[in-house]
Structure formats: C-alpha cells, structure tokens
Structure 1
Amino acid sequence: MTSLARQNPAVALEVLGETWLRELLAALPPKWRKRFGAEGWRIVQPEAPAIGWTGHETSPVAISVPPQDVLVRRIELPLVSRFRLAGLMRFEAPRHIPLPPDQVRIDFRVARRDLAASRMLVELAIIRVETIEAARSETMKAGLEPEAVYLATEYGPWFARRFLARHWREIWLTRRRQRHYLRVLVASLLILTAVLGAQHWAERLARDRQAAMLAARKEAAGIEPLRKQLTVLNGKLAFLAAARHRPSAAVVAEEVARLLPDDAWLQELDIQDRTVRLVGTARDASDLLRVFSVSPLFSDVRFEAPLIPSPGTGGVRFDIVLNLR
C-alpha cells in the first residue's frame, strides 16, 4: 500500500475509502444497513413490476434485465483512479460496442484490482436503448420510478444508474430522493434554529452577567471607603476597650505611693502600655518585691537591675519592673 500510495495516491485513497465503507456498513444496524447497502434495493421484473408492491415503499427500484439482453465485456486496463477511468473508457468502450453508439447505452465498473501488478479489470455492460425504454415504461405504468438497472454478473450484483439517467439531475432529483432531501432540509433547519437560539441565549446570558459584574464593581467602589472607615473605627474601639480594662496612670501612681515604705523615695515612674518601671532609693530595698507582689494591681514583679548603693543617701538604688494585671 505504501508503494501504491507513492505511485498512484488517488487509487490508494479509493481503496482505503472502499474498505472503510465496507467496515462502516458491516457495523451499522440491520435497518440502516438495508437502507444504505445493496440489499435495500427493490428489484422488479418489467413484465410484472407491481408484484409485492404496497404503494408505501421508499426503497429505490431497480429493473432486472434478462441476461440475454445484456452484453458484458471484461477489459483489463492499467491501474487508474475512477476519475481517469471515465476519460479512458470514452476511447476504450467504442471498440467493444457491436452496434452504433446511438442505439445502445453502456455502463462500466471496476470489478477487480491487482495492486501488485498495477492492473485492473473493468466490466463493461451494453444494452440496447429499446430494451431499456420498454422496461422503463412498463415499470412507470405500475407507478414505480426506476433508478437503476440490476445486472447479475460473476463479480456480484451491479446497480447501474447510467442506463436510466443521462444527466446527474435525473439521478439526484427523483421523488424518493426529493422526500429524503426535504427531511434532511427540515432537520437541518431545526438544528440551525436550535443552534442560533442557543447562541442567542448564551450571548444574552453573557451580557446580563457582564452588566451584573459592572454593577457589582460600582457597589464595591462605593463600599471601599466605608470599609476603610470601619477599619479605623474598629481600631479606635479596640483601643478604648483595652483602655477600659487598663488602670489609669493616677490609679497606678496612687497604688505605688501607698505601697512604698516611708524610707523609700521614688525618682522615676514610667508607664508603657501594661508595663510599669519604678526607679528610686530606699534604705532597705530587698523587701520591695514582696511589697508590690501582694498588690492586686501588679504582677510579675522583678528587679530590672542589681541593687547598688546610692551615694549621699546612705541607702541603695533600685530599678523595679512590674506588669499591670
């Protein structure tokens, strides 16, 4: 297949397409396989075309021509694509027609391909015009519209359309196909309407969402100053709440003055948040920690610095740090 694809890519694509089509038809359910496969045709005899016809069938109709009225020729040609084969048969077919070209109709198909030898076998069928027209008129009288001629050869059944249709419009614009096209058109319109409706709904939803986002942004822009004010107020409230639970400087000074012994002098009183520092002199400062520890206002009483003698006073200098409860 690789060498064939290099030499003749069109034929390689045709072979792959035919293989894919056969696999697809084999995978379809029986109902759809009958619709698209060869078994979906209704083969009628020109002498009795209406036998078994219910009047409501939509299967394509093929006329069965007797074998003695069909001349089949098998021609071996070089391996070419179907498009090139049509041009090649314009020159090859007249060599095998025993009658004048205006008295017969022909059709051909590829019966077998020899990919290794790059050759192909083409079946050429020749039928007199009178035979086709007579069979067609009998079938039309019965209310049936034939679309092809059924040929049974050794390479399998063959539904040849060229015998009945001289132009592509006659093939594709039959009544059955017109009904099929109408159904496809209606389904396509419904699908298109659904798609356009869904697109319109999605665009409208996007517009509404964008408008809601713009409104939310405007509201957020107006809320931001209020949020900053609320943050400032919360800070002030927190400060006031902490101040309520913290004793004032006057209360602290009064408690320190009450606890200090008479032989002690306070030189410095520093209050930082909940920490109080006492600096002064006393004749005997070793008992000051116990004095301040018993107070319900103070806790964690300790010397910040060692006791040192205070010159000129006859006492010691103390530096005490304590926490407010």
Structure 2
Amino acid sequence: MDGDNIAHRLGQHGRQVSAELYRFWHWWREQLLGMLPATWQRRLRQPGQMLCIHPAHHGYRLEQQPGNQVHSPKDLPPEALQRLVRNAGQIRLYLPQDELLLTRVTLPVATAGNLEAVLRFEMDRHTPFTADQVYFGFHARPREATSVQIQVDLLLAPKAKTDAHLAELAELSIFPALLCAADQPKAPAIKLPVHPNDTSPRAGRRKSRKVILGLVMVLLLIALPLYHRQARIDTLTAELELPRQHAEQAAAFKRELTALQDSRTWLGQRRAERRATLLLLDELTRQLPDHTWLTRLELKEDSLQIRGESTRASELIGLLEGSSLFFDVRFGSPITINPATSRDRFMITARLVQGAAP
C-alpha cells in the first residue's frame, strides 16, 4: 500500500470521525439547552441571517433573508460567494413539489415520544420508500386529549435526486442544513446530513475556538457512554413498539368480544322473558270467557294476580285450574257487585307452573 492510499484512507476516516463528533455535539448541545430556562433557550437558538437556495433553470438562485436579496452563484466572484455563505446563520435548500412527497400518517399516541425511530422503522408501511432511500422530516399535529391516535405530517426527499443537488452545491462550498418544500410553507423541514467539509460560521467558530474544543473533548469522555446507551435504548424502544401495539390491539379486541357476548346474553334473557309473558297472556285470553274482562294484571316471579268484572265470577276458578300453566287458583278477596254494571267484581290469585314463570 503506497503513501497516497494511506493518506486517502486516513482522510476518509478523519471525515467520518468529524461527522460523528458533530452529530454527538448537536445531541449534547440539545441536552444542555433543555436544562436552561425557556428565555435562555430562545436566545441561544435564535437564528441569524438565512440563506435560501432554490433550483433554477441553469443552476441555483440564492436568496438572503431578511432583505430578500437575490444572487446567482455564477454571477458572484468566489470570494463574494464564500463571504455570503459565511455570513449566513442558516442555509436552507428549497425543492419543488415534484421532487418531494408530503403525506400524513396515523400512529398510536404512545409513539409520540419516539416518532423518529418509529417512522424510520415503519417507513415502508406508510410510504413507497424505505428509510434508507429518503431523507425525511416530520411534525405531529395537535390532537384532542381523549384521542388515542396522533396525526403526523411527513415530508420525504428521495436521496437519489437530493444527493445530486447536494453534490452540485458542495462544489460551490455550500452545505445546506435544512431541506424545505418550496410549495408547502407549513410542511415539516428535513435535517440534511452534515458534510465533513462544512464551512458554515458555526463550524468555523468550533475550529477557531480551541478552548471550546478542549471542553468538548472532556464532555466526550464523560457523556459518550451515555450517548451510546441512549441510542441503544431508542433502538430497542423502536423494535418493541410494534409488538406492543399488536398486544394493545389484541386486548382491545378481547374487551370488545366480551362486551358483545354480554350483550347477546342480555338480549337472550330479555327475549325469553318476553316469550313467557306473551304465553301467559295468550293462555288467559283463551281461558277467560267473553263476559269477563280484566282491569288489572300483576305478574311476579311465580305468581299471578288479576282483577276485573264478570257476569259469572264464580266459574273463573274452575276455568283457570283447567289450564296447564296455573295451579293453586283462588279468590284473593270476596266477590262484590258493581252497582253501575251489575257485574261481579273479583280478585283472583294463582301460582305459576315451573317453566311458565318469566
């Protein structure tokens, strides 16, 4: 192996280490900012001047915000272009709708704390791509407190086309940090991978401040094990999420099946009671003569009480005893005469045969 190959491999390794250190620093910085008061977080995260990059017919259009100054990289001297890039607090790449895919997915609310890992794990279930084929960004939409699901807006950028743009911009020493949808201002932004040769002001400040670099190295020694542990926890959480969802669905189906079975049992009992009641009413209708009518009927668990008037109330006991549904038939009170109709008033009680009671 000659010296050029060794130097090339060392250069590749150095760029990989640099990119990994930047990712770790970004994660550790977010952890530290999360422990500060909200006002301090807003001040430290306040963006400066932004450089927006839009694909054009013959290259790219650079737009400075605020100010809306528009430039073309071909019209700027290299020194002016690098100065424009260095002065940008953030660089964004805006792509048209035909190079992106904006969709909305529905997920259980339990995934809200780990959306990135869940979306990466189930990307091929909700989109035509796998997680390795796209860059993606997302944000969860507001939900009701009682809802068990969340709606997530998901913006996808196929790596094939996006990497072509990034390669062309890298030749101009421009390295966007975010990718946005030019036609969808409310769509989520996509974080782009950090280029090892990024010359943004943030990277320049890290290189020039050796005291901060030394502090970062100390923090690496302390926090790197925690970082790897958190990454492992995130991976395991994503792997367990799908089985947990299946278990919750199975439990919900079981509860629904139990409720349906209880409803079916209740309906069966009510139907059986209704048949027995109708059977008794039919039997009374057939046994009582036409000159008798009822003014009151009380049906209990194993007994029946009827009140009414009849032309010959004394015959009713024998008629009811002839039925297969009644026994122990007797008058509950003496027979009296209704002066208005000259008919016998009666009250009869009877016991119901086993199986005839409702």
Q: TM-score by structure 2 length?
A: 0.36
